[in-house]
Amino acid sequence: MVRQHVNPLSRYHQQPRPLPPLEELFAAPSLPLHLDIGSARGRFLLALAPLRPDHNHLGVEIRQPLVEAAEADRLAAGLANLRFLFANAGVSLPDWLAQLPPGRLALVTLQFPDPWFKTRHHKRRVLQPSLLRALATALAPGTALFLQSDVHALIEPMVALVEASGCFDRPAADPRPWRPTNPLPVPTEREQHVERQGLPVWRVLFLRNNTPPPPLDALEALAAADGVTNGASAGGEPRPTP
């Protein structure tokens, strides 16, 4: 499975896009909302939405042709609790999240994002301080943020940034440093592809605590510290990445 990269810093993808009213997106707009950042072709949410009819599910993806294909499948399946939207998450999501009714966001999943291996490209990675702060502001205490990746050099700085914010804790019962299993009933396509090859997936489930989000400049300073940007260890030795 080949990753299809899109440069999120291009002029086209730096244009913010409006969030349609929830009443236009979902048949029951007051349901708790699951946000999947980087929904790709959408097959994860297309399988999950029928299993969780008590939630609305919103997939956000930067590759427009994948969004159009996923929306076509959603319409064919008649899923009224699922939508896919085209947007650059880092540009549009902070404003979108600020528009949500308090307590509406129930779950955020960020699974197998583009790794952007070269140091000069790290600014293209999706989980930047501004997005993390927006997520921490929108998520109520007890709601969940689930991260997983098959690239150890990517998941470690993601986890380090989340932990440095002070806004999230891991469930007490979860194994450290990584969860061996996905807490959701449906795997992503990338997850299935990696596990078929017998390669590792690194997963962490976070729960929002009561700590207020730090100011953005403080979080950016934390992200610039050696322990975050250089991929400080979240525990354990990295295994070979695919």
Q: Which residues are CB-neighbours of 188 under 8 A, at least 6 positions away? A: 40, 43, 44, 111, 112
Distance of CA 206 to the CA centre of its chain: 12
146-169 in b/e form (b: 16+ CB < 10 A) is bbbbbbbebbbbbbbbbbbbebbe
Q: Write out the catalytic residue numbers.
A: 114
**Single-letter code of the amino acid located at 72:** A
Tokens for 27? 């048949």
Cβ atoms within 10 A of the Cβ of 109, count? 24
Please say whether the beta carbons of 178 and 142 come within 8 A.
Answer: no
Max Cα-Cα span within the chain: 48
Report the distance separating Cα 184 and Cα 187, nearest Å: 7
Query: CA 154, 161, 109: angle at the middle one, nearest 5?
Result: 70
Q: Is the dihedral of CA 227, 228, 234, 240 positive or negative?
A: negative
In which residue are the tokens 């695919």 written?
242
